[in-house]
């Protein structure tokens, strides 16, 4: 078995699911179990690394080449999504996938189907890693973690490869939107960085959604239904009324590309009180602001109809589109494109329909595009990873490092 596969399987064996309701960081202490393992492995490679109180693991490989080479960072997150269990993952390694449906779990009739997931056709004759249909796989983002660790080990074993300072960071709580909340950019020390947190092979992203979370607290009036006429205000029905006021064509299942959306992520409702949770997303900042204004206007219209205190709305911005922070440094995107091309990977430059730690880091002063790690169908039981894609991610990392170390690039990379 390839060493990078052994790494990946070792990492996904550790449950690192984060908790969106926790107030601590890391949100779950079990994320530290993987961070401690990574710390030991980095130390065994001869790489200086530290793990801080917030669960950030940072490491640094000193430069072995002279010149004005900017320190380059590579980042992945260790947590897995709260949307699906990450406990007791039972991966299935399918060698030489020949096409057709993959039965993940015969007892539960859970099938990874080429008809539903046609991207599978791109990976015929490759080794795939899937779930057993009861958990997620964890390729988001342990494929990125494995790719970075594999590349770091390769660099350490090949001192003839000339490079500047290489910075590595593994973050907790990315899946719950707090991945860089306490990230010390000064300690990290990279001038530019790349998150290895994308999907299919070739993905390269330097645009992402502007994002906000919205909570609507609805107050009703509960009266015995036999005597409710003219008195009852049913909070559960108001919740349904609010959702009906949002355009159906602006839901996630009806959007793609640069189209933004409103997404109802959860709701609890009784007559007396209901709570609704939305996320709103848009690449365009003006449209993003308009979406926030639209929800505020909906809440106001409900208050006008049922009473001034019927709905309380709270809107919290989560992250912003990193494009404006990366465009002044487009050479880092060009380096990634060149690295992929040199590694026989076709670059697929596209906007992220989501966000990464790199989006927030870009606004903290470290321009940080996102590169593929290889996985598909994140956050659920149909997640799978083509092994050659993860291996190419590691190759691209090494190639980016060597490109930054080329003498003719010194002045360009510091512009």
* Residue that is written with structure tokens 């189907």 in the block: 113
In contact, 336 and 194? CB cutoff 8 Å: yes
Q: Which two tokens stand for residue 8?
A: 């990946």
Q: Is the pLDDT of residue 354 over 90?
A: no
* Degrees to nearest 5, angle at CA 186 with 54 and 21: 25
- Give CA–CA dist 272/232, Å, rounded: 9
- Give CA–CA dist 124/144, Å, rounded: 22
In the three-class reduction of DSSP (H, G, I as helix; E, B as strand; rest coil), residue 99 is classed as coil
Q: Is the pLDDT of residue 415 over 50?
A: no
In contact, 152 and 61? CB cutoff 8 Å: yes
* Residue that is written with structure tokens 């092979």 in the block: 201
Q: Is the pLDDT of residue 399 over 60?
A: yes
Confidence at residue 295, expressed as pLDDT on a 0 to 100 scale: 98
- What is the set of active-site residues? 79, 174
- Give CA–CA dist 139/377, Å, rounded: 9
Q: Is the pLDDT of residue 184 over 90?
A: yes
In the three-class reduction of DSSP (H, G, I as helix; E, B as strand; rest coil), residue 152 is classed as helix
- Give CA–CA dist 120/393, Å, rounded: 19
Confidence at residue 407, expressed as pLDDT on a 0 to 100 scale: 55
CATH 3.40.630.10 location in the chain: 3-207+321-413
Q: Is the pLDDT of residue 327 over 70?
A: yes
Average pLDDT, the chain: 95
3-12 vs 387-404: helix crossing angle, rounded to 10? 110
Q: Which two tokens stand for residue 256?
A: 């793609």
* Degrees to nearest 5, angle at CA 91 with 196 and 370: 10
Question: Between 3.40.630.10, 3.90.1280.20, 3.30.565.10, 3.40.50.720, what CATH number should domain 3-207+321-413 receive?
Answer: 3.40.630.10
For residue 372, give Cα distances in angstroms to 2, 28, 346, 397: 19, 26, 11, 10
Distance of CA 30 to the CA centre of its chain: 19
6-23 pLDDT, tens digit per residue, is: 999 999 999 999 998 899
Q: Is the pLDDT of residue 120 over 80?
A: yes
Confidence at residue 412, expressed as pLDDT on a 0 to 100 scale: 43
Mean pLDDT to the nearest integer, 118-123: 97
Mean pLDDT to the nearest integer, 353-378: 94
In the three-class reduction of DSSP (H, G, I as helix; E, B as strand; rest coil), residue 275 is classed as strand
Confidence at residue 323, expressed as pLDDT on a 0 to 100 scale: 95
CATH 3.30.70.360 location in the chain: 210-319
Q: Is the pLDDT of residue 1 over 70?
A: no
Confidence at residue 409, expressed as pLDDT on a 0 to 100 scale: 47
The residues, any chain, with a CB within 8 Å of residue 168's CB and separated by 6 or more, are: 42, 47, 49, 57, 58, 59, 60, 61, 73, 74, 75, 148, 152
Supply φ then ψ for residue 73, to 5 degrees: -110, 155
Confidence at residue 414, expressed as pLDDT on a 0 to 100 scale: 41
Assign domain 210-319 to a CATH class: alpha beta
pLDDT band at 355, cuts 50/70/90? Answer: confident
């Amino acid at each position: 078995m390839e060493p990078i596969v052994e790494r990946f399987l070792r990492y996904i064996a550790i449950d690192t699911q984060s908790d969106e309701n926790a107030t601590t960081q890391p949100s779950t202490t079990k994320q530290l179990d993987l961070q401690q393992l990574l710390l030991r492995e980095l130390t065994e490679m001869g790489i200086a690394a530290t793990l801080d109180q917030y669960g950030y693991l940072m490491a640094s490989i000193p430069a072995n080449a002279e010149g004005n080479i900017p320190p380059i960072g590579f980042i992945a997150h260790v947590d897995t999504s709260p949307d699906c269990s990450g406990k007791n993952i039972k991966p299935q390694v399918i060698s030489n996938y020949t096409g057709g449906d993959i039965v993940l779990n015969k007892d539960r009739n859970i099938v990874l189907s080429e008809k539903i997931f046609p991207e599978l056709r791109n990976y015929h004759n490759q080794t795939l890693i899937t779930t057993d249909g009861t958990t997620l796989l964890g390729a988001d983002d342990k494929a990125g973690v494995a790719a970075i660790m594999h590349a770091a080990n390769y660099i350490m074993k090949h001192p003839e490869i000339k490079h500047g300072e290489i910075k590595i960071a593994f973050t907790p709580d990315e899946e719950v939107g707090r991945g860089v909340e306490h990230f010390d950019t000064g300690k990290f020390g990279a001038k530019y960085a790349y998150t290895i947190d994308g999907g299919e092979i070739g993905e390269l992203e330097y645009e992402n959604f502007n994002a906000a979370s919205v909570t609507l607290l609805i107050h009703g009036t509960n009266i015995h239904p036999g005597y409710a006429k003219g008195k009852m205000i049913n909070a559960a029905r108001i919740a349904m009324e609010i959702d009906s006021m949002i355009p159906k064509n602006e839901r996630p299942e009806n959007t793609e590309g640069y189209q933004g959306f409103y997404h109802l992520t959860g709701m609890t409702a009784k007559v007396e009180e209901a709570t609704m949770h939305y996320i709103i997303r848009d690449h365009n900042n003006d449209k993003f602001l308009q979406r926030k204004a639209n929800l505020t206007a909906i809440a106001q219209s409900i208050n006008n109809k049922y009473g001034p205190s019927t709905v309380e709305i709270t809107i919290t911005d989560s992250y912003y589109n990193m494009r404006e922070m990366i465009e002044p440094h487009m050479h880092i995107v060009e380096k990634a494109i060149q690295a992929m091309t040199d590694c026989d990977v076709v670059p697929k430059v596209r906007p992220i329909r989501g966000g990464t730690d790199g989006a927030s880091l870009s606004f903290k002063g470290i321009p940080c595009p996102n590169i593929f790690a290889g996985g598909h169908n994140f956050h659920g039981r149909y997640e799978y990873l083509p092994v050659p894609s993860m291996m190419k991610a590691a190759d691209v990392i090494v190639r980016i490092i060597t490109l930054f170390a080329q003498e003719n690039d010194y002045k360009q990379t510091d512009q």
